[in-house]
Amino acid sequence: MSCFECFCGIFGAEDPKQKALKVAKAKCVELILSKSCGPILIRTAWHDSGTYDMANKSKGFPNSGGAIGSIRTPHEIDAPPNAGLKKALDVYLTPIKNDLEKDGLVISWADLIQLASATAVEVMGGPKIPMKYGRVDGTPTELAPAPFGLPAAFPDSPAQHLRDVFYKYDSMTDEDIVA
């Protein structure tokens, strides 16, 4: 039992948001170990968050993109860069979301997608990624054209293409891109 769990137990019931996150993480661990689906969960989170573009930050939420769960929309999930990712949502994550809701627990799609990814990294032997939760699901009203700033499979000029993709984030350099 962690200090946080002990502290919450002394002063009352566990916060429902914290409980939802713990239950979701446990379900993700079980899923990843039983289905070996970690890579697709990581790719799904990357493609959801990869829509962020600092050039759009003045547009505000949800039109600036980012990890807002918008990959669930037909406009994004059916686009070529997201080929194959519908399985991550429909087959792997929807049952977890439904189980939580049956138990009266709430987690946004945005948080569940990112939680599943961070959990996959950890379960597959990578580092524990410190995460902050509380994301709100968003559906952009100004639809960006595919590929939404995500990398193309076979660009004409790979180095320049990666710069075009990654320089949309605050202060990324060539060294950051290859790290």
Neighbours of 1 (CB within 10 A): 6
Give yes or no for a contact between 124 and 131, defined as CB atoms under 8 angstroms apart. no
Whether 75 sits among the annotated catalytic residues: the reply is no
- What are the helix (H) ranges across the chain? 3-11, 16-35, 38-49, 74-77, 86-87, 94-102, 109-123, 158-166, 174-178
| From 25, 27, 47, 135, active-site residue | 47
C-alpha 152/C-alpha 125 separation (Å) is: 28
Angle at 58 between CA 165 and CA 81, to 5 degrees: 30
Hey, which residues are catalytic here?
A: 47
